[in-house]
Structure 1
Amino acid sequence: MHEMALCQGILDIIRDRAAEEGFDRVAVVHLCVGALSHVDPHALEFGFDAVTRGTLAEGAELKINRPAGQAFCMACSQTVTLAARGEACPACGSHQLMVVAGDELRVEELEVS
C-alpha cells in the first residue's frame, strides 16, 4: 500500500509548514487527488489516520477533492475526460492518449490553529 508512504509525505509537508508558520495544530487538510493518480482515497484516509497519531495532525479531517482525468487524443486531436487510465478515447475509441490533467496529488490547504 503506497498510500502509507504518501501519508508520511503529507505529514512531512504539514510539519515543515508548522515550523515555518508557527502553528501547533491542524484541523483540516485539503488534498487534491486526481482520478488518474493511482491513489485510493479510502486507503489514503486510513493511512492518514494511522500516520498522524501522536502528531500535530492527529484527528485532523481529510477533505479530498477528486478532479476528473483529462487526456489529449493523438488520433482525433480532442481533449477528453477519462474516469480511469487505460480507457479508450470516448470520441474515437483510440488508446493513443496523453494525460494532461487528473494525475496530481497535492496538499491544497491547511486549516490550522
Structure 2
Amino acid sequence: MHEMSLTEGVVRILEDQAAAHGFTRVKTVWLEIGELSTVVPESMEFCFGAVAAGNPLTADARLEIIRVPGAAWCMDCSENVPVTSRVDLCPKCGGAKLAVTSGEEMRIKELEVE
C-alpha cells in the first residue's frame, strides 16, 4: 500500500509549511487526486487518519478529497476529451493518439489552519 508513504509525505509537507508560515494546527486539508493516478482515495483517507493522529499538528485534521477527472488531448481530431483510463480511445473519433492533460495529479490544493 503506497498510500501510507504518500500520506506520510503529505504530513511532512504540512510540517514544513507550518514551520515556514507559523501555524500550529491543521484543521482541514483539501487533497486533489486524479482519477488516472494510482492513488486509491479511500486508502488515503484511512492512512491519513492513522498518520495524522500521532502528530500534534494534524491530530484533529480532516482530509477532504477532490477527485480530478481524467482528460486528454486527441492528436487525431484535435479535441480535449474525457478519459477514464490511460488506454482509452478517443470518444469522438476513436483515435488512439491521446496525451493525458489531467487526472494524474495528487496535490494539496488548500489548507485550513490555526
Q: Number of aligned pairs?
A: 113
Alignment of 1:29-44 (within 5 A): 29-44=29-44
Kindly indicate whether the alpha-carbon contact (under 8 Å) linking 1:71 and 1:81 is maintained by their aligned counterparts in 2: yes
TM-score by length of 2: 0.91
Give the CA deviation at 1:80.
0.4
Query: Identity of counterpart residues, as a percentage?
Result: 47
Deviation digits for residues 20-71 of structure 1, max 9, x if unmatched? 1121111100111111122110011011111112211123111111121110
Q: Determine the structure 1 residue equivalent to 2:22.
A: 22
Segments of 4+ moved more than 3 angstroms: none
Structure 2 SS opposite 1:52: helix
Unpaired stretches in structure 1, ≥5 consecutive residues: none
Unaligned runs of 5+ in 2: none
Cα-Cα RMSD: 1.3
TM-score (structure 1 length as normaliser): 0.91
